[in-house]
Structure 1
Amino acid sequence: MDAFLATVTQYVPVHVLIWLTVCSLVGFIGTLIAIPFIMVRLPADYFDTRTPRHWMKNYNPIIRLTGLIVKNVVGAVFLLAGLAMLFLPGQGILTMLIGISLLDFPGKRKLEAKIVGQRTVLQALNAMRAKFDKPPLTLAPDS
């Protein structure tokens, strides 16, 4: 282990390794709190492609555009954090799902439904929702 650490510190300074470790721990703890908080508050049909979604529909166009920009930036952060969590501690797939849900791009609803439609992901989300007495998520039959 000492040889491995010596090799790594040749290429990456120790203060950077410490910073990465702290960021990883903060991200891990943050996702343990944020993911249940977000997933429990979603309506049961949120990932059902048959249900239309209208975000800030009746707001002033300037407020809507500002909100859209902020939502996409936050979504990109969640998506990148989720990708990192595939290799670091954390709930990578669920974090990526939140990021994808916040981003706006063509085919987003189908991608969300495909991720949530995975048996293990759907079971994890519904178990989380059941702990808070929320109904299970519903999906379109073709998901």
Structure 2
Amino acid sequence: MTSTQPWHAAYPAPQSTGGEITREKVLQLLKTVPLTERDFILVDLRRNDFEGGTIRGSINLPAQSLYPTLPALYTLWKKAGVKRVIFYCGSSRGRGSRATGWLADHIAQDGNTEMDSLALVGGIKGWAAAGEEYVEWMDEYDEKVWKKE
């Protein structure tokens, strides 16, 4: 891999596309499913642009480190009973859709019919721009970061 290639060129392109989930549905899940009963996980894929806050309860797994760790993560999520892995980045059109596809490939190879790999439509930018109801569900929200968008 040369320095002119994108980071993901070192890994195979996903064969699957995974699915999508709207911010409205994610907000509904956050509001109605207690933390101790959740069968979903939110994964924030940002690294260099990890600023302005994150959706409450998300874990940060930068996309650049995801592919080689996916087998271990998948095993952990499966054993924990996770049914939906919801990925997002800035817009969920690059890193988010790529990560969703990689996990969907892994799920299909395992023959797992109980887990879904989903990308948050609009990513964190769409979430932060959707209004106060969404911003309330962000940790470390920094309005200044989103005002410059």
TM-score scaled by length of structure 1:
0.27
Higher helix share: 1
TM-score scaled by length of structure 2:
0.26
Q: Select the structure of larger CA radius of gyration.
A: 1
